[in-house]
Each structure stands twice: as C-alpha cells, then as structure tokens.
Structure 1
C-alpha cells in the first residue's frame, strides 16, 4: 500500500512548508511504512545560509510518516480512515550527521507500541542513503485537558 500527496493531504493537517513527507510507500497499515521527500537546495526551511536542513525536521518527518501509517487502517484498501490528528508528544533522538542540501530523504518508521491515544514509533532517516537521524518518537491523538 502507498500514500500519494492526495491521501497525505486528507490525513495530515500540515501544508508546505511544514509538510515534511511527499509520499509513503511499503505501508503495512498501523505497523510500518517508508516516507520520502526531495529537499531542494533553496528549501525555505533550510538553516541560515541554505546549505543544510536542521535535524529536528527529520524527527518531524518520522512523526508525519508514522501518523500516515497509523491512520491508514481502514479495511477498504486505499481509503484512509482519518481519526483524530496526531501530536508530537516526545522524542529521544540521535544525530548521525548533517543533512546537506539538496537531498533525497527517506524515513523508515515502525510503530512499536500502541496504548490507545499514544503510540511509540522507532524511525530512521536517511539523506541520500546515509543514516542521519534515528529516533524513538511518541505521538498522541488527544490533547491533555
């Protein structure tokens, strides 16, 4: 299963420049998937000077890819089941290097635990096939009151 830009727009509230995933492939709904994004040299979210992308955006790419994987759980293929929006609740990450622009980013994510409104995701982001960030990310589908 895969998610194109139309499906991503249905599932995520993000829009450019805050949308960090262009397509998701190899989706096992509710389990895992691989997100992709081509980042041009003149990306508006690049660090000052425009030569690299802050690694925090790679963590957000993991979270956005995971949200798509988590929400494409409808039993009807290619029909997104859009539930509550997801919110980044926390993360533990390790940077392995800089994301130099331009770059082709690939985020491999797996939902490792699911506790109702909370999910734990393990993810790795590669820039041009070189590992740049790995993170455990927690997302929430509800806002604390």
Structure 2
C-alpha cells in the first residue's frame, strides 16, 4: 500500500509519521518535500503539475515495495500532485489522506479531522484507513 498524508501542520504530520513507523515496522517514509530539494529539481524546469515529483516519489516507493514495505508519502500540500500520483500509482493500492478540516480535503480519498481530535485519535483513524 502507498499512503499519502498531506495538510495540517508539520508537527501533526511528524507525530503521525513517527508513531506509524515505530509501531509498524513494515512501513517506510518518503518526504516529497525532501525529494524536491534534490539538485536535479533545482536545475529542471518548474514542475507545477507535479508529474516529475510524482514519478520520482513513486519510483522510490516501488523500489521499497519490491523489498516488502508499505510506503508513507508526505507533503504539506499535495493537492497539485494528487492526479499525477494517482496516475503513477497505476494498479498499486494508493490512498490519499488530508489532515485538517473536511472543507480542505476535497479531492483526497479520506480526511482526518486534526482540529477536533487528539494525536491518539488521529492515529487510530489512520490505522483504520490502512486496515491494521
């Protein structure tokens, strides 16, 4: 499975990432923002539609999946990349999750309300989404 977490604050995402990786050893994390900081992206033409970012993230994810891992992709605002990520995922299980209000989650598969839930409640919601 490839799971995308987007939205909310860096702290909220980090809390969920750290707990998921600690409690689920079969998961690995790819921060899309870090991929976009690679020298290759700085020299390339702007990637407004996210196709290049999505392709690189999914290539890395596929390599990790081949090793038997589930993948957690994160980005503060992945909305511009959603369609490209879905296309790149092809037939792989891909679920996009928005962290924040229902209003901001349009276009994502699922939303976790970070405004009215504790970190523990958010994690429980996340585990329900990934089916564990």
TM-score, normalised via structure 1 length: 0.28
Counting strand residues as a fraction of each chain, which structure ranks higher? 1
Greater relative CO (CA pairs within 8 A, separation 6+): 2
Counting helix residues as a fraction of each chain, which structure ranks higher? 2
TM-score, normalised via structure 2 length: 0.29
